[in-house]
Amino acid sequence: MIRTVKINRIIRNCTGVKTISFKLEDNIIPKPGQFVMVWVPGVDEIPMSISDFDENGYWSFTAKNVGECTNALQNLNIGDFIGIRGPLGTHFKIPPKSTKHIFLIGGGFGMAPLKFLANQLIKSGFKFKIIEGAKSRNELLFLDELSNIKDKNCEFFCCTDDGSYGQKGFPTTLFEEKISEIEPIDLKNTIIYTCGPEIMMYHLFNMCKMYGIELFASLERIMRCGCGLCGLCVIDPIGNLVCKDGPIFNLAELNKMDDFGKYKRDFTGKKIEI
Ligand SMILES: Cc1cc2nc3c(=O)[nH]c(=O)nc-3n(C[C@H](O)[C@H](O)[C@H](O)COP(=O)(O)OP(=O)(O)OC[C@H]3O[C@@H](n4cnc5c(N)ncnc54)[C@H](O)[C@@H]3O)c2cc1C
Ligand code: FES
């Protein structure tokens, strides 16, 4: 069901990225990792991860301007109306209390669901590390917010490809360094949550397989219906639908996918290399 909501807050995060907040009149509580289909009247309907759900019941998503509909979103104002369907899809499962090490590793707008997850982990008293990567400093999403997390259980590390902020390099390199600090016996008791460029998630997947670490990754595919009807988001060979069976998949599920890290489908359903 599509619900019409009024935009009540807009924050400009960094170049071409805005966070838009609204309230739904019912008492549905979204979970980190889930997404909504956002309809911009007269333009299109597109998937957006939920980046926050606050104590006053306001939902947020954080959109990067990449094309027609995301451009229209950037031009909306407080008081404008949009359509919302959701929350949709699977969510990041909160880890068992016995988990020794937890990492949230992301890049680009992949930080959106991870920020929501970080807030939940803080509320539940978990100790964890966040690793964020971007091409350069002005593309590090939520940098101020994440650098200023005062919770003693959360550590934030970041890196940039060009070295303009944090360590120079990729999140995978930073993660490799952090793994070397973990006792080998604790690797089986470590969980990684990731969202971002698929090539980064694919490298993490291979590392996790090698070290025997559990991984939960949020996949992105082109979506039309967002609810399992059109088949556009299907992944070969077993036919997982990213909108319904995902977007969150664990290591065992990713391991069965031929497409992961290699192919996605365009708007016509044709496979293209990632
Ligand atoms: C589960 C999920 C969660 C997402 N969360 C976020 C988020 O939190 N923030 C954010 O900025 N973006 C997010 N995206 C991506 C976002 O949906 C696309 O960037 C958006 O649909 C582009 O629409 P457009 O009309 O602006 O671009 P278009 O002009 O249609 O195309 C620009 C590019 O965007 C990609 N794209 C277009 N439509 C889709 C689509 N329906 N699904 C996936 N990719 C598409 C295409 O590869 C294309 O090259 C998410 C996508 C998925 C599947
Ligand atoms: S978007 Fe239509 S089946 Fe997933």
Q: In this predicted model, what pLDDT tens digit does every residue of 115-154 receive, in sequence order? A: 999 999 999 999 999 999 999 999 999 999 998 887 789 9
What percentage of the chain carries pLDDT values higher than 90?
Answer: 93
pLDDT value at position 169? 94
pLDDT value at position 233? 97
Model-level pTM?
0.95
pLDDT in tens, 71-129: 999 999 999 999 999 999 999 999 999 999 999 999 989 999 999 999 999 999 999 99
Q: Tokens in use for 198?
A: 């698929």
| pLDDT-derived band at 271, boundaries 50, 70, 90 | very high
Mutate to test the pocket of ligand 2, among 37, 48, 219, 232 (most ligand atoms within 8 A of CB): 232
In the reported structure, the alpha carbon of residue 47 is separated from the centroid of ligand 1 by a whole-number distance in angstroms of 6
Ligand nearest to the CA of 89: 1
In the predicted structure, residue 36 carries a pLDDT above the cut 90 = yes
Average pLDDT rounded to a whole number, residues 245-261: 97
Fold of the 101-273 domain: Rossmann fold (3.40.50)
pLDDT value at position 149? 83
Domain boundaries, the chain: 3-88, 101-273
What's the CA gap between 102 and 158, in Å, rounded? Answer: 16
In the reported structure, the alpha carbon of residue 140 is separated from the centroid of ligand 2 by a whole-number distance in angstroms of 30
| pLDDT-derived band at 225, boundaries 50, 70, 90 | very high
pLDDT value at position 118? 96
Average pLDDT rounded to a whole number, residues 230-243: 95
Helix (H, G, I), strand (E, B) or coil at 28: coil
Q: Tokens in use for 216?
A: 């939960």
Helix (H, G, I), strand (E, B) or coil at 39: strand
Ligand nearest to the CA of 230: 2
Tell me, what amino acid is at 56? Answer: N
Average pLDDT rounded to a whole number, residues 48-56: 95
Torsion of CA 197, 198, 201, 206, to 10 degrees: -150
In the predicted structure, residue 10 carries a pLDDT above the cut 90 = yes
Fold of the 3-88 domain: Elongation Factor Tu (Ef-tu); domain 3 (2.40.30)
Q: Give nearest CA residue, ligand 1 atom 35.
A: 222
Residues 6+ apart with CB under 8 A from 256: 237, 238
**Is 155 near ligand 1, meaning CB less than 6 Å away?**
no
Tell me, what amino acid is at 88? Answer: L
**Is 70 near ligand 1, meaning CB less than 6 Å away?**
yes
In the predicted structure, residue 254 carries a pLDDT above the cut 80 = yes
